[in-house]
Structures are given as structure tokens and as C-alpha cells.
Amino acid sequence: MVDQPGDDAVRQRADVSLAPVEAGGGTPGDRRAFWKRWSRNRGRPLPPIRPWPRRQWPLLVVLACVVGSLVVVVVVDFRPGTALFAASVLLAAVFRLVLTTRRAGLLVLRSRMVDVTTLAIMGGATLLLALAVPDIR
């Protein structure tokens, strides 16, 4: 039996398609270099991670002031509690202005100037409204 001229080409394509393919691709040295680049340097220890409350102290101080202002609103009167609330928002603006982005923690939302401007306008408007409301007594 004589082979047909197209049988040899089909046989070569079948041999190529059945050849095993490496799962990771590339040489083992390439894969080692990739993982070495992303792995941690074992000679130098990582800096210790501070617990969550110590990392977020600016936010916790502002939230404590807000809770205190709400207590003053409920227990004492509307005006001093709202003024204390405005002061806590202004305190958040000062923290955002003075502290670095890393130290400010969860007070960071956008750029520094946008955060400071927004907090200062909100705190000033709240303070203005607290002082402008007429006393009922």
C-alpha cells in the first residue's frame, strides 16, 4: 500500500498537537526568577504591624468627640452639642491637614486639599448653624 501525499502532513500535525506542554511555561530558571522577585527577603524581618486601634487613632479621637457631642445634645442642650459636633468635624480637618496620608488612616478619602476643604466647610457651616439657631427659652 502506498502512502498518500497528504498523510505525512497530517501525521506531523498530529505529532505536534500531542506533544506535552509545560504547565508554567518558560524554563525553570525563569519561574524561579519570577517568584524570587515577589518573595520576601528572608534576611530582613518585616516591621511589626500595630494593632488596629493604634493605627487609626485620629479617626477614633474624632469618633469619640462625635459620640460626646451626641451625649451633650441628648443630656444638656442642642446648641452646645451641635457646637461640639462642629468642633469634632473641624478637628478631623486639622488632623487631615497636619498628619501624613499614612498616619491619617481612614480619614483619607480623596486628595488632602479636597478632604480638608470639605471637612472645613462642613464644620464651619454646622458651627454657624448651631450659633444662628435662636434660643427657645
Encode pLDDT of 95-121 as tens digits.
999 999 888 889 999 999 999 999 999
Q: What is the mean pLDDT of residues 35-52?
A: 66
**Spatial CA neighbour of 104 closest among 51, 60, 46:** 60
Give the 3-state secondary structure of residue 46: coil
* pLDDT tens profile 59-81: 999 999 999 999 999 999 999 99
With a cut of 50, say whether residue 134 has pLDDT above it.
Answer: yes
**Rounded to whole angstroms, how far apart are CA atoms 79 and 88?**
14
With a cut of 70, say whether residue 8 has pLDDT above it.
Answer: no
Confidence class for position 135, pLDDT limits 50, 70, 90: confident
